[in-house]
């Protein structure tokens, strides 16, 4: 959820997620919705990265580490929930974020778990300017609704992935339902997130995101909703993109 991108960055957003750094890895803390949804979103993303690289997950002894040897960039990685899942799948992960305190938490947690993740403080265009493109896959999860210039952000994602590599974005749709559930419900009624975590006006409709990705040279190849079962609290993927959703794009 951390903000990323110079020219796209909002200082208030970076500071907001830095303040949450100490509690990021508490599954019952302010980031508990991310902890709950992370298995579902990574369960959707990891096999698609593997298939994009010609790997049939589940058909060989290396299936437990389907991303072995692949370079994956996690933009707006925060304290590393997605980065660690990618690393456990075998990827060589670079986690990028502009929030220094969140990165400190990420480094400490990865070190405690023996995960060699390369965490860097910075913005995607800085990585691009340094010539560090060519990643096998790029992900940006719960980030784009926190940046000021979405088109510039999408151009950075497109520039950082290798020509035949996938880009994954997850975000919140700007609908009446998302206002009711993701903003009012999650922040004010259920207190699942700190008040002020999201600005509903910055939520992104799928058509808007698709157009921005196209202008960056990418086309949407897959889309899925992220939905929670209200009885169990478990998250899964579905066709319902009315609140949370995932997009896969490629050149």
Say if residue 41 carries a ligand binding annotation.
yes
* 41 assigned to some structural domain: yes
**DSSP codes, 222-239:** EEEEEEE-TTT--EEEES
pTM of the model: 0.89
**Rounded distance, CA 59 to CA 36, Å?**
28
Say if residue 209 carries a ligand binding annotation.
no
> Which tokens sit at 71?
């370079």
The Cβ of residue 17 has, within 10 Å, a number of other Cβ atoms equal to 23
Say if residue 10 carries a ligand binding annotation.
no
Exposed, middle or buried by CB within 10 Å (0-12, 13-18, 19+), for 166? buried
User: 53-102, pLDDT tens digit by residue?
Assistant: 988 654 554 568 999 999 999 999 999 999 999 999 999 999 999 999 99
Length of the chain (residues): 251
**Rounded distance, CA 164 to CA 52, Å?**
8
Q: Which domain holds residue 235?
A: 11-250
* 4 assigned to some structural domain: no
Q: What pLDDT does residue 91 have?
A: 98
User: 143-199, pLDDT tens digit by residue?
Assistant: 999 898 999 999 999 999 999 999 999 999 999 988 887 765 565 555 666 665 668
**Rounded distance, CA 7 to CA 123, Å?**
9
Instruction: Report the CATH number at residue 119.
Output: 3.40.50.150
* 184 assigned to some structural domain: yes
* 1 assigned to some structural domain: no
- If one counts the domains in the chain, the total is 1
CA angle 148, 41, 125 (to 5 degrees): 35
Say if residue 141 carries a ligand binding annotation.
yes
Cα torsion angle, 58, 109, 26, 198, sign: negative
């Amino acid at each position: 959820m951390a903000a990323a991108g110079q020219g796209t960055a909002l200082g208030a957003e970076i500071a907001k997620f830095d303040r949450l750094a100490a509690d990021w890895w508490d599954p019952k803390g302010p980031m508990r919705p991310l902890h709950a949804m992370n298995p579902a979103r990574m369960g959707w993303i990891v096999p698609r990265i593997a298939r994009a690289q010609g790997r049939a997950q589940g058909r060989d002894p290396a299936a437990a580490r389907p991303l072995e040897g692949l370079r994956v960039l996690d933009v707006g990685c925060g304290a590393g929930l997605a980065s660690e899942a990618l690393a456990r799948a075998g990827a060589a992960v670079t986690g990028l974020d502009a929030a220094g305190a969140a990165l400190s938490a990420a480094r400490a947690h990865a070190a405690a778990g023996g995960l060699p993740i390369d965490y860097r403080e910075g913005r995607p265009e800085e990585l691009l300017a340094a010539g560090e493109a060519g990643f096998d896959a790029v992900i940006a999860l719960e980030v784009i609704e926190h940046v000021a210039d979405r088109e510039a952000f999408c151009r950075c994602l497109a520039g950082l992935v290798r020509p035949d590599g996938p880009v994954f974005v997850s975000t919140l749709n700007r609908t009446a339902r998302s206002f009711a559930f993701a903003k009012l419900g999650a922040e004010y009624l259920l207190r699942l997130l700190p008040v002020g975590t999201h600005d509903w006006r910055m939520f992104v409709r799928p058509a808007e995101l698709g157009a921005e990705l196209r202008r960056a040279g990418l086309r949407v190849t897959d889309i899925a909703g992220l939905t929670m079962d209200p009885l169990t609290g478990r998250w899964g993927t579905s066709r319902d993109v009315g609140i949370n959703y995932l997009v896969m794009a490629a050149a």
